[in-house]
Structure 1
Amino acid sequence: MASVMNKLRNLDAYPKINDDFYSRTLSGGLITLISSIVMLILFFSELRLYLHHVTETQLRVDTSRGEKLRINFDVTFPALACSIISLDAMDISGEKHLDVRHDIVKRRLDSHGNVVETRQDGIGHTKIENPLQRHGGRLEHNETYCGSCYGAEAMMSVVIHVRKFVKLIERKVGRCQTLRSLTRYGACKREGFVQRVKDEEGEGCNIYGFLEVNKVAGSFHFVPGKTFHQSGFHLQDLLEFQEDNYNISHKVNRLAFGDYFPGVVNPLDGVQWTQEALNGMYQYFIKVVPTEYTDVKEHVIQSNQFSVTEHFEKTQVHIQSLPGVFFFYDLSPIKVIFTEQHVEFLHFLTNVCAIVGGVFTVSGIIDSFVYHGQRAIKKKMEIGKFG
């Protein structure tokens, strides 16, 4: 048994020095104090990383198909009334959503930005297809019917750029082409729209809600007037509302493609363009990047990030630019995957050992250098060779 103990004693990699041979110095004490502080700082830093999750990032090709894209928006127009703003959405697959009203809320704002009224019946104009209703066994005019101004709707301005052609259309549909003439005809009076436009004159509008669209490239836009589709053309009725100038000053309070996830940054949140004569087409070109976020509880959030560039096309004298705010979006084929995870305990233990051993070794080297340097200087001073 004694021989076994002797063999184990010979394996000791840390031979002990008799305390009588220790020499403690002031510099060694300072180095020990500083190294201990550094060691504690690094230890608590590593402990903090261990107690909190870390996020791993991966890039993969997006292979999803047939999904929907949710667009959350909150936009304020300080110089456009709610009654004259329409929201349209379309994509490259050919699907169109004109004069969107579902899942939309609009708030009338006065000149100071205070909320006058909140409506949840959507944006645009309520349109009931049947102009007649049965009452007491006979047909009478439906007072809620939004008339077409005697067929003028089908001939209203196309998304065109030539003002001369617009004036030609005005002459063809002259009976209901302006707000003043709208009040002269029964069909336009019954729809009750004229009075609403007059009531909201000088007001602004805050529009918020969401759109569910196909997960393909497309666009959505806020424009003054009423939009419709006729004979394969995208038409916009601007003439019955107002003069030629529309102030499209706006503030994007929020724009997000999908649900929120930790760390997401939406670059358009809070962007504001406010000028007294901001008349023309304001365009946002958006690149949407599909994103998947998995938290430590393995809850998966399917969302998107995006980048954006902007362009403003001002209305010119001889060129009729379609006024409004347009958002054109395209999808990236690359998907970003974020995964939250905790640091493994063995990894934490390894880092702690590396911290303790590394700091102890480096401080020992520094102490040895300082100690031997002091001794060399002292010897030279004793023999008078220092300096």
Structure 2
Amino acid sequence: MSSRPKLTSLDAFAKTVEDARIRTASGGIITLVCVLIVLLLIRNEYVDYTSVITRPELVVDRDINKRLDINLDISFPEIPCEILSLDLLDESGDVQLNILKSGFEKFRITKNPDGTPGQELPATDSIALNNDKSLSEMAKPVPGSDYCGSCYGALPQDNNENCCNDCETVKLAYAEKLWGFYDGSNIEQCEREGYVTRLNERIAANEGCRVRGSTQISRVSGTLDFAPGASFTLRGKHVHDLSLYDKFEDKFNFDHTINHLSFGNDPISRDLVQSTHPLDSYHVVDGLKQQVYDYYLKVVATRFEYLKGGQPLDTNQFSVITHDRPLMGGKDKDHEHTFHAQGGVPGVSFHFDISPLKIINREQYAKTWSGFVLGVISSIAGVLMVGTVLDRSVWAAEKALKGKKDL
């Protein structure tokens, strides 16, 4: 019995006598408004509690030593497949010449009578330079054969130590000598294989070329380079045979459409396409022959981890800066104070820079259970407190007005 007065003195929730309470219409209105606001706030808290958000985290990429896939689908409507070459160069010093035979498919883009792109046909009969064999291997005489094709002075043949038995070997020998190969006319091997006739027919028909496929790169900075003519590396320089490309002043240019470009696995969700495929459906139609187009890509490895236990998705996002310039250099047409450098090779180049960091995007609920409960309690308490202050203010105002009327 002695402890009861002590507990009552600590009561923070003092009760009022029922007879002392006065109910007013304004208080009822304020109560209804407070109830509606509380219900609305509780609903918003529940929506936040059940909503899923993605929180990014930046970490060091531990897979930096693994090779990375490049998925590419690009169309060149104004240059035949026979003239087009694709090279891969990186900062480590590795050079892969004409990788169109490694994981890529080429399709001839025919033209309709009105000049618009027509049917796409597999370029199965097109000659491609630089297969898996080197020039020395390709030019070895065939054992037991009396035939030794001429290399037309590109390789020594005094004792038949080198034989150019097919058009591709001659073309490669010319490239190593930095000689202009043109269309292979008057070269017996190319004439016999029908390469000259086939090439000139496709040039006359203004055919284009579509390249689609994948290749692997080291996770270092490098360049994927589309250019005309046979490519070769000599004394540290990367050169191309532009003889056929420059032969026709009114034909060939590097107008192009990037149908698809991505790194690594393609994302399943369409919401990710903007950051993982920013160049998809990108068109360039300038009609300029002596023009180089550069794309500077910043590639970042990205991992998506899903809340409901789905399979994590590993892909790569990239940003891009586009730039083009004429080979002759000079003042920029759009910016009078900008001057372009002179020289280079016409074509399309993708310069990629691989980031050593990795982004991990984790899905999670916006609020925890404790955060939801705390938000509900805070909403109720805040609304009731504001309602109490407002009710007292209205009650005091009503009393003041009633007192003036009684006077």
The alignment status of 1:314 with 2:326, answered yes or no, reads yes
Query: SS where residue 347 of structure 1 aligns?
Result: helix
1:247 equivalent in alignment to 2:253: yes
Amino acid paired to 2:314: Q
Structure 2 match to 1:68:
67
Contact 1:80 1:247 in 2 (8 A): yes
- Asked if structure 2 preserves the Cα contact closer than 8 Å seen for 1:257 and 1:305, the reply is yes
Counterpart of 1:161 in structure 2 is: none
Counterpart of 1:82 in structure 2 is: 81
Contact 1:246 1:280 in 2 (8 A): no
1:197 to 183, 196, 199: 199
Q: Which residue of 1 aligns with 2:230?
A: 226
Comparing 249-258 and 369-378, the one that deviates more:
369-378
Shift of 1:322: 0.4
Secondary structure of 1:79's aligned partner: coil
Matched with 1:99 is 98
Q: Distance in 2 between matches of 1:229 and 1:105?
A: 24
**Structure 1 counterpart of 2:187:** 185
CA distance, structure 1, for counterparts of residue 39 and residue 403 of structure 2:
37
* Counterpart Cα distance in 2 of 1:57 and 1:199: 55
Q: What secondary structure is seen at the aligned counterpart in 1 of 2:254?
A: coil
* Contact 2:104/2:211, CA 8 A, preserved across alignment: yes
Q: 1:120 to 1:246 in 2, by over 3 A?
A: closer
Match of 1:347 in 2: 371
User: Aligned pair in 2 of structure 1 residues 361, 120: CA closer, same or farther (>3 Å)?
Assistant: farther
**Match of 1:75, as an amino acid?**
I
**Contact between 1:46 and 1:351, CA under 8 Å: does it hold in 2?**
yes
The whole-number CA distance in structure 1 between the counterparts of 2:76 and 2:94 is 27
Work out the percentage of aligned pairs sharing the same amino acid: 28
Post-superposition Cα deviations, 1:290-343, rounded to whole Å, max 9, x if no partner, equal: 333322227443333222222212022995430011111223344333222234
Deviations 1:39-95 (A, max 9, x none): 334333332333332222223344544121222222222322333222211111122
Indicate the residue corresponding to 1:40 in structure 2: 39
Change (3 A) 1:317 1:295: closer
Other-structure match for 2:56: 57
Is the contact made by 1:143 and 1:191 (CA closer than 8 Å) also made in structure 2? no
CA distance in 2, matches of 1:378, 1:82: 96
Q: When the two structures are superposed, what TM-score results if normalisation uses the length of structure 2? A: 0.73
* Structural mapping, 1:244-323, within 5 Å: 246-261=252-267, 264=272, 265-266=275-276, 267-277=278-288, 279-296=290-307, 297=309, 299-316=311-328, 320-323=343-346
- Separation in 1 of the partners of 2:11 and 2:60? 56
User: Deviation string for 1:159-185 (max 9, x for gaps)?
Assistant: xxxxxxxxxx5xxx5xxx333xx2322
Q: Which amino acid aligns with 1:212?
A: Q
* 3-state SS, counterpart of residue 359 of structure 1: helix
Q: Contact 1:105–1:121 (CA<8 Å) still a contact in 2?
A: no
- Give the drift of 1:254: 2.7
Q: CA deviation at 1:223?
A: 1.5
Residue type of the alignment partner of 1:243: F
List gaps (5 residues or longer) in structure 2: 150-163, 331-341
Q: Summarize deviations over 1:212-247 as a string: whole Å, max 9, x none.
A: 111111111222222233454423122135536742
Cα 1:205–1:365 change in 2 (3 A) is farther
C-alpha distance after superposition, 1:117-153 (max 9, x if no partner) = 2458999557586579989x85668997524249422
Q: Is the 8 A contact 2:175 2:231 kept in 1?
A: no
CA gap 1:124/1:130 in 2 versus in 1, 3 angstroms: closer
Match of 1:369 among 393, 396, 404: 393
Report if the CA contact (8 A) 1:147-1:188 is conserved: no
Mapped contact 1:104–1:123 kept (Cα < 8 A): no
Q: 1:131 to 1:374 in 2, by over 3 A?
A: farther
Residue of structure 2 in register with 1:159 after alignment: none
Alpha-carbon spacing, 1:21–1:39, altered in 2? closer, same or farther (3 Å): closer
Q: Which residue of the partner structure matches residue 152 of structure 1?
A: 174
Counterparts of 1:204 and 1:28 in 2: how far apart (Å)? 80
Given that residues 47 and 348 in structure 1 are in contact (C-alpha distance below 8 angstroms), is that contact kept between their aligned partners in structure 2?
yes
**Contact 2:300–2:316, Cα closer than 8 Å, also in 1:** yes
Residue 255 of structure 1 and its aligned partner are, at CA, apart by 2.3
Question: Is the contact made by 2:52 and 2:364 (CA closer than 8 Å) also made in structure 1?
Answer: yes
**Alignment-derived partner of residue 380 in structure 2:** 356
Instruction: Report the Cα distance in structure 2 between the residues aligned to 1:220 and 1:285, rounded to whole angstroms.
Output: 11
CA distance 1:276–1:234, change in 2 (3 Å):
closer
1:326 corresponds to: 349
The Cα RMSD (Å) is 4.0
- The alignment covers a number of residue pairs equal to 361
Aligned-pair CA distance for 1:154: 1.5
| Counterpart contact for 1:109–1:117, Cα < 8 Å | yes
Change (3 A) 1:123 1:305: farther
Structure 1 distance, partners of 2:403, 2:198, is 101
